[in-house]
Structure 1
Amino acid sequence: MTDKIATPSAGHVSKAAFSLSKLRRSPLTLLVHLSVLVIVILWTLPTAGLFISSFRDKDQLALTGWWTSLTNSEQNLVDRTGAPDSQIQENGVYVLTGQVLVDGKPTQVQAFGFSSRAPTAYKPGDVAEMKNGGSLSMTTDGHYKMTSLKPFKGKRGKRVFYTAIVPPKFGLDNYKEVLTAEGIGRSFINSLTVTIPATIIPILIAAYAAYALSWMKMPGRNLLIAVVVGLLVVPLQMSLIPLLRLYNDIGAFFGVGAKTYLGIWLAHTGFGLPLAIYLLRNYISSLPREIIESARVDGATDFEIFMRIVLPLSFPALASFAIFQFLWVWNDLLVATVFLGTGEEHMVLTARLRELLGSRGGNWEILTASAFVSIAVPLGVFFTLQRYLVRGLLSGSVK
């Protein structure tokens, strides 16, 4: 009787080899995943901070960072005592009493003062000697007592400065201020009026040009491709002034006034065409040659091939460029300011948000809410077309 030697099956061998290969690659794979995770966190953290800050109270936002948004903070505040008609007379001294409140609630006072020059000069329990023989005292829970040898006069109470521990405050006040600002709705419509044509027009022109540079034989085609690639590196700022002067001269010749939507449409079309042609040409040239040749053998013209075959197959590349162009035009401020100006009639959303800051940026706290108001539409466009983005960018890169 012979002994049978058990031999591993092919399936077990392949599984063992796969496990061994997976084990060998695991450190590198772990490093790649960790690197991606770090990049995602570093990329997302500022946006998350901006989002949290957009709901914070303006005063707290100006004093502390978003990472302290869930903790109490010290704030220098100012309040008024009761009106002079509430004063009482004690032992020949006029007295005003009361309690400082934060959002209608008692607070913990750290310091106080009666002058804006020294708002934290005294600690709770101290007696601050005021001018004209008066005094001011305040307890830790905010109860104050102000005295004067002469009667208090005026219709409003006296100012009291103090430093208090304030709990975190969140709300929609920043968004309300931005969304209810005068002219914000008109500026939103103006931005759509600029962005939609400035996205569609370059796509239409670039699609025809990309097909011609990919499948139509013509003299100087390679030179044209080189010119398109060279235009990708031309700084926008170098061409703004010459382009504006040319537009004004043409407008004056034909009796068309400056500061119109036509000018900014043409400007964005010119700035976006090099990237659009380059991107679409790479994609269209990667389409199978057999399809194009078969259509030509069947008697189709170049226009029919483009409309019936190339254009439907190129939708991922068209969507990819549409995302880039829409984001660029929607967030643009420089070109809009040069070609449309800052008049109320044509002011775009980015220019309107800049005006809300004031001439000296004194209202900068609303920038956080303004950022999320302005990116709402681009985010909608991106998430609608994002499945085509990578496919459109990578198609044609490898043959």
Structure 2
Amino acid sequence: MDNIAGTKSSLTWAVHIATLALVLLWIFPTVGLFVSSFRTVDQINSSGWWASLSAAEQNEVLRAADPDENRVADGDMFVVSGNLFEDGSEKVISVWGTSSRAIDAYVAGETADMGEGESMTVAANGDYEWRGTDEQISGRGQRIFVTAEAPPEFTLANYEQVLLSGDRTDSMAKAFFNTLTVTIPATIIPIVVAAFAAYALAWMDFPGRALLIAMVVGLLVVPLQLALIPLLRLHLGIGIGKGYLGVWLAHTGFGLPLAIYLLRNYMVGLPRDIIENARVDGATEFQIFTKIILPLSFPALASFAIFQFLWTWNDLLVAKVFLIDATGETTVMTNQIVELLGTRGGNWEILATAAFVSIAVPLVVFFAMQKYLVRGMLAGSVK
């Protein structure tokens, strides 16, 4: 009885749990990326994003002020005093030391005896007093190892560096508009071409239609990497291999099989009576396509637009191959993120900020058109 239509399946709870798990798996990394994009590099290295609202413990190596310029005579001794932290810092020192072998030798406020009358006192707020003889208080400032708790700190400096760093050709803002220049035409062109082709394959009778449909299905399984070199050689031969036109046509070619397949399956499922009545009334094929088919096919068009936009926006391989540029004028965001990180990597705060800037537009597009996604994906699955 559980399989009868209209009855509630006993596995509904499993579906709900699986859906919730998938939602959480998607939300947690996005929230973590967003939070990390506002954190400093020290806090990212010391604690995870989930601990961003609590104090983080950090080990730092600091120096006292230059003795030659800051020491003050105190009888037969000299004293150098000040604060180890920058102005306005709210860090609190718990333990400290004067050697890397014992960075927790003293607690905050305790005085360290460094021998022969030389001493050092470090308070919890970073105030210090270095006392010694003329020979001891000289040269470079004393190195001090501290373990301090830093309060939660959020900054916009990461976004300023990502969006405004360097000149106009090196900034993420320039790469953002370059990516839009690549993505928008590379999404619109295949939709327009595929819509005409899908209508022809769905509602027009002509020799070889079945063979063309089979070829479209076959092209769905052709690896992208297999066509890169031959297509690049073709583009270079006709002079479009190093510009926007070349990358537009490349994305169009790689996206057309899926677009035609998806739209054709959707259009086949449209009511035949509407189209036949329009033909009886004297409507041309073009009028039927523009005034009947396109409005009814909007869910499928929107579904493919989401896929194509996300794929093109996040693409690095095709842009690297077909958008060759040594000056940075046409650099896209995916490539700019790699450039910001450098060859050594490790700038996690820059990576988090640049990555969140990169996913901001796809998120807007996805949430704006998500109601059409499932309808378009199910196109042609039910008769």
TM-score in same-fold range (> 0.5): yes
Q: What's the CA shift for 1:75?
A: 0.6
Residue-by-residue CA offset, 1:250-295 (whole Å, 9 max, x unaligned): 22xxxx5x41111100100011101100110111111111122222
Give the match for residue 384 of structure 1. 368
2:204 paired with 1:219: no
- Post-superposition Cα deviations, 1:8-31, rounded to whole Å, max 9, x if no partner, equal xxxxxxxxxxxxx99x84854444
Measured against aligned partners, the alpha-carbon deviations of 1:194-247 in whole angstroms (never above 9, x if no partner) come to 111111110111011111111122233222222212222222122222211221
- Over alpha carbons, which structure has the higher Rg? 1
Q: What residue in structure 1 maps to residue 130 of structure 2? A: 146
Matched with 1:300 is 283
Of residues 304-313 and 138-147 in structure 1, the stretch that sits farther from structure 2 once superposed is 138-147
Give secondary structure in 2 for the equivalent of 1:62: helix
Q: Which residue in the other structure is 1:184 paired with? A: 172
The 10-residue stretch of structure 1 (99-108 or 353-362) with the greater mean CA deviation from structure 2: 99-108
In structure 2, the partner of 1:3 is none
Structure 1 residues 283-294: aligned runs within 5 Å: 283-294=266-277
Per the alignment, residue 313 of structure 1 pairs with 296
Letter of the 1:337 partner, please give it.
K
Q: Give 1:12-31 correspondences, 5 Å limit.
A: 25=8, 28-31=11-14
- State the one-letter code of the partner of 2:178: N
CA distance, structure 1, for counterparts of residue 58 and residue 47 of structure 2: 10
Q: TM-score, normalised by structure 2?
A: 0.87
Aligned residues: 370
Query: Which amino acid counterpart does residue 129 of structure 1 have in structure 2?
Result: M
- Distance in 2, matches of 1:66 and 1:185, equals 26
SS in 2 for 1:375: helix
What amino acid does structure 2 have at the position aligned with 1:383? Answer: F
Q: 2:48 aligns with which of 56, 61, 65?
A: 65
Please give the alpha-carbon distance, in whole angstroms, between the structure 2 residues aligned to 1:106 and 1:32: 48
Whether the aligned pair in 2 keeps the contact of 1:128 and 1:137 (CA below 8 Å) is no
Using a 3 Å threshold, how does the CA distance of structure 1 residues 73 and 210 change in structure 2: closer, same or farther? same
- 1:332 corresponds in structure 2 to 315
Q: Distance in 1 between matches of 2:213 and 2:28?
A: 40
Alpha-carbon shift at residue 326 of structure 1 (Å): 1.0
**Cα distance change on mapping 1:46 and 1:184 into 2, 3 Å:** closer
Match of 1:127 in 2: 112
Report whether the alignment pairs 1:51 with 2:34. yes
Which runs of 5 or more structure 1 residues have no equivalent in the other structure?
1-20
Deviations 1:35-77 (A, max 9, x none): 3223322322222222222222221112211122222221122
The partner residue of 1:210 within 198, 201, 209 is 198
Distance 1:237 1:133 in 2: 72
Contact 2:82 2:127 in 1 (8 A): yes
Counterparts of 1:322 and 1:218, CA distance in 2: 28
Shift in Å at residue 163 of structure 1?
1.4
> Whole-Å Cα distance in 2 between the matches of residues 318 and 374 of structure 1?
24
User: Contact 2:41–2:348 (CA<8 Å) still a contact in 1?
Assistant: no
User: Where in structure 2 are the equivalents of 1:231-246 lying within 5 Å?
Assistant: 231-246=219-234
Other structure's SS at 2:206 match: coil
Match of 1:394 among 369, 372, 378: 378
> Residue 306 and residue 45 in structure 1: after superposition, are their counterparts in 2 closer, same or farther (change >3 A)?
same
Give percent identity, aligned residues only: 57
C-alpha displacement at 1:190, in angstroms? Answer: 1.1
Partner SS, residue 289 of structure 2 = helix
| Letter aligned with residue 127 of structure 1 | A
Within the candidate set 78, 92, 98, 1:94 is matched to 78
3-state DSSP of counterpart to 1:269? helix
Partner of 1:7: none
Aligned amino acid, residue 99 of structure 1: N
**Which SS does the other structure have where 2:155 is aligned?**
coil
Q: Do 1:106 and 1:142's aligned partners in 2 also have CA atoms closer than 8 Å? A: no
SS of the residue corresponding to residue 265 of structure 1 reads helix
Tell me the SS of whatever aligns to 1:361: coil
**Alpha carbons of 1:75 and 1:102: their partners in 2 closer, same or farther (altered >3 Å)?**
farther
